[in-house]
Structure 1
Amino acid sequence: MGSAVERTDKHVREYLIYRGFTGTLKQLDSDIKADKEKGFRVDKIIDQLQQLVQSFDLSGLKEYWLHLDRRLFCRLEDVYRSTVNKLRTSIYRYYIINTIQKGNLEKTQEFFQKQALELQGQAEWRDWFILPFIPAPEQNPAFSPYFSRQWADTFLVSLHNFLSPVLLSFDAEVQKMTSLTEENEQLRQKLFALQTESRDQKEGDEMVQHKLPLYVQNMDRLGDTELDLVSSQRAISATVTPSRNFFSTFLPQGKRTPVKAPPITVGSSPSQAAVGRKESSVNQMAKPKEASQSKEVKAASNQSSSGESASSQSQQTANQTINQHSRHKRIQEHEKERKELFSRPSSQTPESKGEDVDLTPAMNISGEPPESSSREEGGLPVEQPFIKLSQEEYGEHHSSIMHCRVDSSGRRVASLDVDGVIKVWSFNPIMQTKATIMSKSPLLSLEWATKPDRLLLLGSGVGTVRLYDTDAKKNLYEMNIDETHPRILSLACSPSGSSFVCSAAALSRSGGDASVPRLPIPVSGQLLLWDTKTVKQQLQFSLEPEPVAINCTAFNHNGNLLVTGAADGVIRLFDMQRYESAMSWRAHDGEVYSVEFSYDENTVFSVGEDGKFIQWNIHRCGVKQSEQVLPQDATGPFVLSGYSGYKQVQVPRGRLFAFDSEGQHVLTCSSGGGLIYRLTNDEPALERVLSLGGHKAPVVTVDWCSAVDCGTCLTASMDGKIKLSTLLAQKS
């Protein structure tokens, strides 16, 4: 343990020297010198005791021994108490012998005067009170052994041998706790890997059974119950909408579309159910073409019926019936795990009756939304989609939060405040800070790397991006992006490789302060693609009609598409296979603050300076699917007022909204905590279902971790507090 403490002190000294904190360094040296444990080094403790004896500091010797007793000896078992008492007696005798050998009889008499009340009742001290009055005590047979060099050396060696295991026990406890923590983490990772492998294997089995194309297997992340529906829709619409033909080259074909699906009856086969869904979503003119594009299974069945005997047909029909029933059972189980939004009839939702949904932060006493907002037709209550199990607070930051992101595995969180301090911490099984990152230059953005997820990208205000290893707690390297555009506003890592997209902007007239609102005129910016392996810039994207600062970026699940929101209010969609712009449209009056793909990735959601939450169809450029006006405390700029007219204003930097694992609920900011809404296909587009609460300052950024069974909502506020709300989804 002593060596570990010494190494830590050395690193702290090097850090203080590097930062130029000379005053703190002097105070550290002073505190180390006054440290009574001496870094848990036995030799240093022995030297301190000898120094007190040699300087005749009786009060200091007593105080130091009492400190060792409270700090170390009291933690020992009772069997060692007699040994501790013998060592205390020996250290006092060592002190007395030293005063006589040095000829300082005054200190000898002082010892017996101050210790008389304590020692006179002890048998081992009864003969020692006569010691100051003996002319030559070193020649007295009773005391002469204590004046020998051999006794002093023996005593010091015994004290050293006794202290060593005592201090090692501290080290053993620390190592034991560290090993248990590491073992727990390894087991948790192994469990997560087994769960992921089991899920991937199950999805792979379903894909093989349905004989999906290879690119669909690699790109699709939804269930296979909607594959026939979306595939047929895209095949039909390819002759109507040319833009869909463009996206069909790199969009997954199994994405779910927000349509109303009729319920599947027990007697119907999955193919019949798919046909029913097609008829409900495709116009009448497309039906003949849809009928002509029947499945290979049907064609094979018809061909066999013309060439095989009646007995073969009956056997095949029986086998198909069994397979269809088993597949239908899996489909029902799969659909039960999905939310009921896409299959609920429109007449059951309060929005279809023209009711207004209150989007203000007003709540009842319990902190939940009004009960009337969660009732079906007829006044029957609807079960809440989530149960809030707990809410914890992370309070290591001392200023307003800018970014707060969970890594892809759901194990670590990285949070950045306006002072440029980054905390990397975990919340499972306990909340614990893993690393603290500070920088001389201001930090404006952060992003977790995809592979490996322990790496963190940090964007600064001086044109650099650092790659930080959260496990090793060190910078791997630093990339110089662009001196003319030094403000790194946004970072996004591609899910499919080692590249990342970097948004760099020029300095504004306000100096690039994150807490100062931007100018009405958008500043110049660049959108760059970098490779983390070669640490080189790959290309620069073209921003039409003019170079502008990109505020937010987001990839789709396989990295084939990139959506950006800019300071000029324009959303741009890039094809990452061709590295060119696919389309762009003006989305908001003012800046675009936050953009995300929908779960089926057929639409894009955005929040802008105009306070609107809009859903856009990416197959029809600039076409809105829904629009909702959010309160100002959900979109910013965020204002925190204090005493004496103090007011802090912060422009949005991090995520303003986040989706749950199935993309049917969205978490937004508010003045008192996060708000969760249900996405609807009607007007209004959002239905408020749950208020998380817990904050005393405006929430400025959110994130929703769904990598574990219980989803965790992160809400970060302007007072530096981050709330972790653990939710349990209620399956219908």
Structure 2
Amino acid sequence: MSHVQYVDELVKEYLLFRGFSQTLRAFDNDLKAEKEKGFRVDKIVDQLMQYIYNYDLTSLRELWGHLDTRMFSRLESHFASGIRKLENAVLKMYLVNAAVNNKQDRIQEFFTKMAPELQGHSEWKEWFALPFVKNPEDNPIYSVHFSRQWQDTMLVSLHNFLATIFQCMPQPTLLTIDEDTNRLKRLQEENEVLKQRLSEPVKVETVSDVNPGPTPQYPPIMDDFYIIAQESPLMENPKTLKSLIRNIGGGSSPILSRKPVTNIKKQVDPEIAPTKRTNTKGRLNSLSKSDAVAKRSISCDSRLTSSRKRDSSIDTAFERKTKDKIDTGYILLSQEEYTEHKTSIIQCKSNASGSYVATGDADGIIKIWTPIPSPKTVATFTSTTANSNKAVTALDWISKNERYFLHGDNNGLIQLHDTRDCKTLWEIQNEGSRIVTLLCNPAESTFVCSLSDSNEGKLLLYDIKTKKLERTLPMEQNVTALCCTYNHNGQLLITGLSNGNILIHDLRRNEIIDNLSCHSSPVIDIELINDYTNICAQSEDGKLCQRSLNHTSKTIWETKVKIEKNAVHGKLFTFDQSGSHMLLCTQSGGNIYKMPPGMQGKVLELGGHKGTLCCDWSTANQSGTCITGGAEGKARVSTLLSP
């Protein structure tokens, strides 16, 4: 982040050049009011200390809260305890400064404002007695915090922590221009050095007719075989070995659907083949200038070069053809069908290891089964709702224990099931409501549940162990949460609403930090892509789009897909582990697309359904497993060979 101020000046210069005076004034005002201080760590630490010295508790809390929302909440979950310790250290330094300067009123004000937040934490238990302790610097409980060593250590730790975050956080393109320019310049210099090396003439000893000199020493026969071993295409290009393995079985492979090899020769890359001919010609010409080189070696080298050129051309053509056919290399190994359900499969979800799949249908039947090597039922659960309309509308596995899973139905019933003992552990009944979606937190033993009734929707957070309602999350009025997803550490919840908007909740503060207007119809499916900075959402009218969470007004791409209308849906799309490919439900079955799907062709068409209502993609093992559930009551298991 060392170039932020430089880029700010460039932006000002550009605005002034374009005559955007009002924009320039607004930009200057924003720079003066920014809380990141141009991402300068020393300025941020100085600002925090200034608030401490001025006893400005409100501004101190606002600045820390801004840093927490903007940066700390995006870190991995295991950083949470360290962040909390740093925050507590900053607050304790505030109290120490007030105590040293005999500001008892500031200490009283601190505990009055902060008591609701701090009273539940054990490390603050003894600090509530600070206003009543005389000479706290001599008390063994507080004395270490009054020492200069502790204060200096805390400031250094805070400085290093912020510097590390700023160094590792993703940067916008404008800030990386200078770095990219330097990298390009360095690569150009390296290319020039390599070109000079290639242009240097090969030093070959010539034999004079007048003074022939000593008899030239020819290389032994074994050297030719040594050259062949060293310059083999398999050693030079490891991809050739992969292509050789794929070629086993002939040109009529049902997997790759390749055409005869005679057609492949026409697809040789024109930039590769001429280069090889030129290099070969130059090499032979340089060798022909020396009569001292053995004809045997020249002949062998010519055959070797010709063979390498031919093999590389075929290999290049095959790889290009294969890439056109299956893109990055996903190969459909096998497909099986699970036919134990009698009605439409609405929900399907694999556990974390991919060993079990849970599917729920419109009759309230939940099947637990193994997808590999062939589908086999392990357990069956039935919704206990007395009402006839008991379709399974929500289903998810417990994140920290693959033995348990939750399901919700059309009549407000939530149940926790044990797959090993085949029993239901507890249930929660919400009378007069319908469970729209539920999702388990990836880092904590909680789950979020969306309810819908005749009046309004609710978004509830439950504790799994105690089945108690922890709190109701804030929501817009007269809307229902139709889908949701967590970020990687479970601190943020992204929710799609019935009015087409997307909410982002900060669960630690129980507040909405952003409200995005994305669609004109209800958002029925939503998911974060692998880097957790982009979100993909699908609406009821079939609009599928990707948005950036860093630039919420920016739409990266959007397209239209056909979905089953007037049907209860589960997960309609999901991604592979890299986030580069999408499994999408279509009317004829699941299709795999390269991202973005609206601009790329289908990579694989899985098929097998008359209407696809849900899907899941498990990448826990080397062979990825795609599960699709159909309106006809069949689940299709497609095993893929990952690239």
TM-score, with structure 2 as normaliser = 0.52
Q: Is the 8 A contact 1:526 1:547 kept in 2?
A: no
SS at match of 2:72: coil
Q: Kindly, what percent of the aligned residue pairs are identical? A: 33
Count of residues in Structure 1 that have an aligned counterpart in Structure 2: 363
The residue type equivalent to 1:722 in the other structure is: A
Specify the alignment match of 1:381 in structure 2: 321
Select the residue among 567, 572, 581 that pairs with 1:650: 567
The residue type equivalent to 1:659 in the other structure is: F
The residue type equivalent to 1:575 in the other structure is: D
TM-superposed deviation, 1:287:
6.6
With over 3 angstroms needed to count, the CA separation of the structure-2 counterparts of 1:368 and 1:673, relative to structure 1, is farther
The residue type equivalent to 1:627 in the other structure is: E
1:426 has 2:358 as partner:
no
1:563-574 to 2 correspondence within 5 Å?
Answer: 563-574=494-505
Select the residue among 622, 628, 633 that pairs with 1:709: 622
Specify the alignment match of 1:281 in structure 2: 173
Q: Distance in 1 between matches of 2:378 and 2:349?
A: 15
Residue by residue over 1:548-606, the C-alpha shift from the partner in whole angstroms, topping out at 9 and shown as x without a partner, is 21111111222122111111111111112222211111211211110000100001100
1:666 has 2:582 as partner:
yes
The residue type equivalent to 1:455 in the other structure is: Y
TM-superposed deviation, 1:687:
3.7
TM-superposed deviation, 1:279:
10
Q: Distance in 1 between matches of 2:558 and 2:257?
A: 21
1:497 has 2:444 as partner:
yes
1:350-369 to 2 correspondence within 5 Å?
Answer: none
Q: Is the 8 A contact 2:76 2:488 kept in 1?
A: no
TM-superposed deviation, 1:689:
1.3
With over 3 angstroms needed to count, the CA separation of the structure-2 counterparts of 1:583 and 1:377, relative to structure 1, is farther
Residue by residue over 1:265-316, the C-alpha shift from the partner in whole angstroms, topping out at 9 and shown as x without a partner, is xxxxxxxxxx9x999933478779x99xxxxxxxxxxxxxxxxxxxxxxxxx
Q: Which runs of 5+ in 2 are unaligned?
A: 1-35, 41-62, 78-166, 184-237, 240-253, 260-266, 271-316
The residue type equivalent to 2:431 in the other structure is: E
The residue type equivalent to 2:591 in the other structure is: L
1:537 has 2:469 as partner:
yes
1:521-536 to 2 correspondence within 5 Å?
Answer: 524-536=456-468
Select the residue among 546, 549, 554 that pairs with 1:623: 554
Q: Is the 8 A contact 2:397 2:405 kept in 1?
A: yes
1:249 has 2:33 as partner:
no
With over 3 angstroms needed to count, the CA separation of the structure-2 counterparts of 1:284 and 1:251, relative to structure 1, is closer
Q: Is the 8 A contact 2:461 2:469 kept in 1?
A: yes
With over 3 angstroms needed to count, the CA separation of the structure-2 counterparts of 1:250 and 1:684, relative to structure 1, is same
1:248-647 to 2 correspondence within 5 Å?
Answer: 248-252=71-75, 281-283=173-175, 380-383=320-323, 384=326, 385-441=329-385, 442=390, 443-480=392-429, 482-484=430-432, 486-507=433-454, 524-544=456-476, 546-630=477-561, 632=562, 635-637=563-565
Q: Distance in 2 between matches of 1:279 and 1:583?
A: 21
Q: Is the 8 A contact 2:336 2:374 kept in 1?
A: no
Q: Distance in 2 between matches of 1:547 and 1:377?
A: 60
Range with bigger deviation, 426-435 or 388-397 = 426-435
TM-superposed deviation, 1:460:
2.4
The residue type equivalent to 2:570 in the other structure is: G
TM-superposed deviation, 1:703:
0.5
Q: Is the 8 A contact 2:564 2:611 kept in 1?
A: no
Q: Is the 8 A contact 1:488 1:502 kept in 2?
A: yes
1:690 has 2:607 as partner:
no
Q: Distance in 1 between matches of 2:556 and 2:257?
A: 26
SS at match of 1:661: coil
1:224-243 to 2 correspondence within 5 Å?
Answer: none
With over 3 angstroms needed to count, the CA separation of the structure-2 counterparts of 1:237 and 1:388, relative to structure 1, is farther
TM-score, with structure 1 as normaliser = 0.46
Q: Distance in 2 between matches of 1:497 and 1:458?
A: 18
Residue by residue over 1:380-411, the C-alpha shift from the partner in whole angstroms, topping out at 9 and shown as x without a partner, is 42522200000000000011111011111211
With over 3 angstroms needed to count, the CA separation of the structure-2 counterparts of 1:700 and 1:456, relative to structure 1, is same
Specify the alignment match of 1:721 in structure 2: 634
Q: Distance in 2 between matches of 1:705 and 1:505?
A: 30
Q: Is the 8 A contact 1:552 1:566 kept in 2?
A: yes
Q: Is the 8 A contact 1:367 1:692 kept in 2?
A: no
With over 3 angstroms needed to count, the CA separation of the structure-2 counterparts of 1:465 and 1:704, relative to structure 1, is same
With over 3 angstroms needed to count, the CA separation of the structure-2 counterparts of 1:629 and 1:390, relative to structure 1, is same
With over 3 angstroms needed to count, the CA separation of the structure-2 counterparts of 1:685 and 1:557, relative to structure 1, is farther
Q: Distance in 2 between matches of 1:436 and 1:278?
A: 46
With over 3 angstroms needed to count, the CA separation of the structure-2 counterparts of 1:715 and 1:238, relative to structure 1, is farther
Report the aligned-residue RMSD.
Answer: 3.7
Q: Distance in 2 between matches of 1:284 and 1:597?
A: 25
With over 3 angstroms needed to count, the CA separation of the structure-2 counterparts of 1:376 and 1:578, relative to structure 1, is farther
Q: Distance in 1 between matches of 2:570 and 2:410?
A: 15
Q: Distance in 2 between matches of 1:370 and 1:548?
A: 52
1:61-140 to 2 correspondence within 5 Å?
Answer: none
Q: Distance in 2 between matches of 1:623 and 1:280?
A: 13
SS at match of 1:669: strand
TM-superposed deviation, 1:369:
11
Q: Distance in 2 between matches of 1:535 and 1:460?
A: 17
Q: Distance in 2 between matches of 1:462 and 1:279?
A: 47
Specify the alignment match of 2:59 in structure 1: none
The residue type equivalent to 1:710 in the other structure is: S
TM-superposed deviation, 1:464:
2.5
Q: Distance in 1 between matches of 2:538 and 2:257?
A: 23
With over 3 angstroms needed to count, the CA separation of the structure-2 counterparts of 1:286 and 1:411, relative to structure 1, is same
SS at match of 2:321: coil
With over 3 angstroms needed to count, the CA separation of the structure-2 counterparts of 1:370 and 1:389, relative to structure 1, is closer
Q: Is the 8 A contact 1:369 1:690 kept in 2?
A: no
With over 3 angstroms needed to count, the CA separation of the structure-2 counterparts of 1:427 and 1:249, relative to structure 1, is same
Larger-Rg structure = 1
Residue by residue over 1:669-692, the C-alpha shift from the partner in whole angstroms, topping out at 9 and shown as x without a partner, is 122221001114xx9444421111
SS at match of 2:607: coil
Q: Distance in 1 between matches of 2:505 and 2:413?
A: 24
